[in-house]
Amino acid sequence: MDESEFWDKVILWGKAKTPNLPPNLDEWIDENLKDTLHICLPHIRYLQISGSKNGFTGETFHILCDNILGIVVVKINSTNEILGGYNPLIWKVGSHEDATTADDFIFSLKNGNLNESILSRVAQQSNAIRYAAISKGPWFINLDFGMGYGYNSKI
């Protein structure tokens, strides 16, 4: 996925979550999406990790992303669905320790149908983020979304 496609999806998600937007784009002002996107936008850093180029392993993720906070985005090749999660804390290698935050979330942007998109916020804040061994990648919200732990699905 190139950067412009990613930003198009972020804007579509923001539009879907902001029902009071003017229908005509020419009537928008700078503040229209601000409340919806202001929390996550400062943390988006575009770093593309390609499974075919870099390897699809937890170690690759940690080498490139440790000590960085932000959003993890995955595009599913077979469906074009975009899955992701926001972590307001930094990523790091740990020994299966959980980190506490109320601000993380995971999302699913269904291909071409924003009405079916999903946003899930953390309910149990003490299990918001899992810091695991270097062989495991990122894990969000009580292990609801992540990589590693023996799952070997081709994405």
Please report the DSSP string for the chain in residue order.
Answer: --HHHHHHHHHHHHHHT-TTS-SSGGG--TTTTHHHHTTTGGG-------HHHH-SSHHHHHHHHBT--EEEEEE-TTT--EEEEEESSPB---SSEEE--SS-EEEEE-TT-GGG-EEEE-SSGGGSEEE--TTS--EETTTTEES-TT-----
Q: pLDDT at residue 14 above 70? A: yes
Q: What is the pTM of this model?
A: 0.62
Distance CA(89)–CA(91), nearest Å, equals: 7
Q: Residue 40: its pLDDT value, please?
A: 57
Per-residue pLDDT tens for 66-97?
887 777 877 777 787 888 888 888 888 887 88
Q: Which residues contact 2 (CB under 8 A, 6 or more apart)?
A: none
Q: Measure Cα distances from 33 to 24, 83, 131, 155 in Å.
A: 14, 21, 32, 31
- Please state the rounded mean pLDDT for residues 112-121: 80
CA 134 to chain centre: 20
Q: Residue 152: its pLDDT value, please?
A: 47
pLDDT tier for residue 48 given thresholds of 50, 70 and 90: low
- Please state the rounded mean pLDDT for residues 129-154: 73
Instruction: List the chain domain ranges.
Output: 3-146
